[in-house]
Structure 1
C-alpha cells in the first residue's frame, strides 16, 4: 500500500495532501512556535495569574466526558491532542504529532509522535496512550464518542512502535484529520490504576488530571470552577501565565461587574449587546472582535407531536421576530443566517430565503396541522442571556398566533444531559452550534444526520435523503465536489423546517487591557491560555 505525506492545512483536499507528499513536503509543525520561539517564551515567562469568569459550570475534569464550547477551557489547557486548530481563519496543525501519512484509499492513517513529551507526572507520552485514549472515547458513550464511532471501530487503532500509531477507518472520511483536535490524550497508566469495575477511570478522572497540557490541575470544585498552574515541562515550553483560575459565574451582571472591578481579567462573550457596549465604553477594557462561524438556532423535537407535523414547524418558524432580534435586541451586531451552515463557510447556499416574522402565515400553517395542539415548552440556558431572551421573544410571537407555551431555563450541564434522552429533551431549545472543526459537516452533518441523534442532532431529526447526501459528502475528498452536496442538504433542511435558524454571530472577547497575547480561534473560543501574559 503506497502512502504519501503532505502538510496538514485546513480545507486541503486529500488528493492535494497526496500531491504535496509526492513533491516531498512532509506534514510538519508549521504554524507552531519553533524551538527558539519557545525558549524566548520561557525566558519571558511571567508570574501572572488570570481569573476568567465562565457562564457555564465545570461539572467534570474528564476530557472525554464533554464536547462543547462552554466547558472547553479545561480540555484545551490541561490536555494535548494529535492535532490542534489555531487562529482565525482556523488552521489544523500537528500538535503531539510530528507527521502523518495517508493511504491511497484514505482509510489508513499513520502518525509519528513527538518524542520527549511528558505527562504531568513526568512519564513519557507514547503511542500506547493514544491508542488507549481512542479506545476510551469509543467505549464510554459520551458526546464525543459519537464523533468517532461513525469513522472507526474499537480495536482498530494500533501502536506500531513506541512513537507510531495507526488508525484504520471503516471508510474514507473527509473530516478525520479535522476531528483529531478532540482526541485528547490521557496518561493511560495513571487512569488504569484508578479504574473501578471497568469504568475506564471515569469516576476518578472526573475530578483529577491525567494530561500533558500547558497547565496542571491544582483544585477543582464543581460549584466554583478549577485552578491550574503552569506546567514548565510542556513540549512547547512554559506558558506565559503562572496560574489560570476559571470560575463559574452564572449571572451576566456579576461577570461584567467583576471584570470592571478587576476581580476577573476575562470572561466569555455570551452576553447581551448592551453589556458588550458597556464594556467597550470602559477605558480599562479591551473587547476584541472577530468574524466567527457560530450558528444561533432553536431545536424542534421531531419525535414529539405537534413537531412531527411540518405545518406546525413552519408555523413556529414564522412566529420569531428575526429583524427585531437582530436589529433591536442585538443592535445589528449579528447577521441573519437562514439555514444550518454559517454564511461564511464554504458549502453554505446563498439562495435560501428562510422564514420571516409573519403571524398571518403562522396562523395559515396552524390551520393545516393534522395532529392535536398542546402547550409547548421553549427552553433557554441559564448563564447564556441571549438564549433566554430568544425564548421569551418566541413566546410572544407564539401567543399572537394562538400557540400556548411555557418557558424553562436551566444551566448547561443539565441541558446537555437532556440532549441524549428524547424523553427528557425539550420541545424547543435555543442554543448555538459552535465550530468544533472548520468544515460544513460540523453543522450540516452533526445537526442533521440520523446517526447523530442525541449527540449534535438534538432535535432527533431524520431524513433518508439528507443522510445519503451527507454520507456522500464525507466519502468525497474534493472540496469542490463536496460543497454542492452540503448546499443541497441545507436547502432540504430549510424546506423541512428542521430547525429554527436565526443568526451567525461575531466573537466578542472581553479582557482587561493588561491581558496580552489572546489568540482567538473559533474552535475553543479564544480560551487557550498558554499564549496569554499579564503586563
Structure 2
C-alpha cells in the first residue's frame, strides 16, 4: 500500500497566515470586542474544483460547500443540545430562514412559496433576486445528479420547470406530491444560490453555465468569497469575508477561513494540539481518545445517523449471492471493531436501521457467528473461499479506514475470503470509483444529510438512487421506501410497520454489510466559541459565526 507524503505543518501554516489576509471594517461589526484573526481547519483533502453543482466530490466538497452558506434555509439548532451536536434536528420543525425570509406551503400541497430576504448582496454588489434563485436552482438540477435525486426521487417536484418566479422577491417550487423532505433539501449546500449576473458575465458559447470560471471562483450570497488567487486545487483554500454579507449581526471575528488539505491524520492532530489550527476533521479514533486529555482541545462525540458499512458489488456473482453476503456479515465481530478501532466512539450495528433513530420492533438480526458463516459459505458453494479486493480511503470513512480494513481482512480470512487491501489516498479518486461502481468490496461511510430513517434507506439502497453504485435491486424494498417518503408526519403506525418490513427484507439479503453505528467525534480548539453543526459529519462547522481569542 502506498501513502501520501507528510505535510510540513509549521512552515506551511505560517506561510499561509502571512499572505493575502485582509478584512473590511464592515465585516467586523459583530466582533469589535475581538481582534480579527484567521480561522483555520485541516481536512484530509481539498477539492480539485469549486463548482459543487457540476462536480460534487463527496466529503471533500462538503468541507467547503457547507461553509459557503448560500442556501435558502438552514437548520435551526439554537434550541438543540450543544449547537446540534447532542441532538439531531427534525427535518420538518428545526428549520430557519437564511437567504429566504419566510416560506409557506400551498394548502393543497401543490407548491412551496419562498419570500426572499431584502438587501442581500454578493461580494460583487449585486442584490439577490428571484431571477438569481430560479437560475441557480435550474442550473443545479441540470448539472447535479445529487440534486435530481433529492428533487425527483426522494421528493416529487414537478419535473417540467418546477421553479416559478412570482415577483422579484418571491418564487414558487411546484410539487406533484408532498413529502417530509420538501423543505429541508433547500438547506443542502448544492442548492447554492449564485449571483447569476456575475456568473453569466464569465459564460461563453462553449460554457453557457460558466462552469470553468466557477471551478476556481465563488459568486454567491454567503459569508465568504473565494478567488482563483486563494485556491490551490487539492491543497488549500482561503476564504475571505463577503464585505456585503447580510448577517453581520452574527458574524464572528474571522478575517479569513483557511482550509488546508492535510492527508496525514497525525499531522492534523499535532497542528490542533499545538494551537496552530482551530479544527481537525476526521482523525483516527485513537487520536480523539488521546486528545480528550488535552488542555487546549475540546473533543465531543456528536449524534448522527452515520454508519461504517462494507459495500459488496452485485456485479460480482460471488458477492451477489445472498448466502455469501450473510456469511460475510456473520464473520465480522463488530464488538471487536468498536473496541479496537473506534475506541468506544460507536456501537455495533444490529439491524439495517441505525439504532439512534429509535425505531421500535426491529429484529436484531446482525451478529457474530463464525460457525454459521462457514456453513453459509459451504452452502453457497464456496467452502474454500475466494479472493477479493477491498478498496479503502482515509477520506471516507476516515483516517481509521486502514486499521478497520485490517481487522476486516483478518475476520474474512477465517471463512476463506482473501481480501487484498487497496488504499486510495485521493478523496476525489475514491469518490469517482464509488460512483462508477469500480470496486469488488469497498469500506464506506453511510452519512445521511438529513436525520430520518427513510432518508437513509432511500439514500443508498433504492434501485434509482445515485448512490446505489453496488446495484442492490429489490422491488418490494423500493415500493416500501417510496411509500414511506410520502407518508404524512402523523401516520406513525404505518411508518413503524414499513420500517419493520424493510428490516426483514435486509436481513434476508443484506444490501450492505452494516458494521458500526458511529457518532461524529469533533476535535476543536478551546480558543474558539460559537460552534454550530449544520450537517452531521466531520468537517461541517459554520465558521463565519465563530469568535476566537488569541
Under a length normalisation based on structure 2, what TM-score does the superposition of the two structures give?
Answer: 0.84
Secondary structure (helix, strand or coil) at the match of 1:351 reads coil
Q: Distance in 2 between matches of 1:524 and 1:397?
A: 28
Q: Does 1:207 align with 2:213?
A: no
The aligned residue for residue 243 of structure 1 is 256
The aligned residue for residue 234 of structure 2 is 223
The aligned residue for residue 176 of structure 1 is 182
Q: Distance in 1 between matches of 2:390 and 2:160?
A: 38
The aligned residue for residue 9 of structure 1 is none
- Change over 3 Å in CA distance of 1:67–1:58 after alignment to 2: closer
The aligned residue for residue 476 of structure 1 is 487
Matches within 5 A, 1:248-263: 248-263=261-276
1:189 corresponds, among 197, 204, 208, to: 197
Matches within 5 A, 1:19-168: 41-44=30-33, 46-64=35-53, 65-66=55-56, 68-87=58-77, 88=84, 89=87, 90=89, 91-150=94-153, 151-152=156-157, 153-168=159-174
Matches within 5 A, 1:431-470: 431-452=444-465, 455-470=466-481
Q: Does 1:234 align with 2:245?
A: yes
Q: Does 1:414 align with 2:426?
A: no
2:524 corresponds, among 497, 508, 511, to: 511
Secondary structure (helix, strand or coil) at the match of 1:227 reads strand
Q: Deviations over 1:40-78 (max 9, x none)?
A: 735446402122110133222113232744432321222
Under a length normalisation based on structure 1, what TM-score does the superposition of the two structures give?
Answer: 0.86
Secondary structure (helix, strand or coil) at the match of 2:420 reads strand
Offset at residue 81 of structure 1 (A): 0.7
Offset at residue 309 of structure 1 (A): 0.8
Q: Distance in 1 between matches of 2:240 and 2:324?
A: 52
Kept in 1: contact 2:306–2:446 (CA 8 A): yes
Kept in 1: contact 2:51–2:214 (CA 8 A): yes
What are structure 2's unaligned runs of at least 5 residues?
1-26, 78-83
Offset at residue 141 of structure 1 (A): 3.7
Q: Distance in 2 between matches of 1:386 and 1:45?
A: 37
Q: Distance in 2 between matches of 1:271 and 1:53?
A: 10
Offset at residue 382 of structure 1 (A): 2.6
Q: Deviations over 1:373-430 (max 9, x none)?
A: 64211121134222222222111111111112211121321121123223x2x12212
What are structure 1's unaligned runs of at least 5 residues?
1-37
Q: Distance in 2 between matches of 1:524 and 1:86?
A: 17
Count of equivalent residues: 492
Offset at residue 208 of structure 1 (A): 0.9
The aligned residue for residue 405 of structure 1 is 419
**Which region of structure 1 is more displaced relative to structure 2, 102-111 or 399-408?**
102-111
The aligned residue for residue 17 of structure 2 is none
- Change over 3 Å in CA distance of 1:514–1:357 after alignment to 2: same
Q: Distance in 2 between matches of 1:267 and 1:223?
A: 17
Q: Deviations over 1:320-378 (max 9, x none)?
A: 221111123323221222234322225x3553323323322221111122689642111
Secondary structure (helix, strand or coil) at the match of 2:472 reads coil
Offset at residue 157 of structure 1 (A): 0.9
Kept in 2: contact 1:67–1:143 (CA 8 A): no
Kept in 2: contact 1:175–1:439 (CA 8 A): no
Offset at residue 260 of structure 1 (A): 1.9
Q: Deviations over 1:466-508 (max 9, x none)?
A: 1111111122122514343234323322331111112222222
Secondary structure (helix, strand or coil) at the match of 2:414 reads helix
Q: Distance in 2 between matches of 1:104 and 1:370?
A: 58
Q: Distance in 2 between matches of 1:297 and 1:337?
A: 9
Q: Distance in 1 between matches of 2:73 and 2:363?
A: 35
Q: Distance in 1 between matches of 2:34 and 2:193?
A: 26
- Change over 3 Å in CA distance of 1:95–1:214 after alignment to 2: same
Offset at residue 203 of structure 1 (A): 2.1
Offset at residue 199 of structure 1 (A): 5.5
The aligned residue for residue 34 of structure 1 is none
Kept in 1: contact 2:334–2:349 (CA 8 A): no
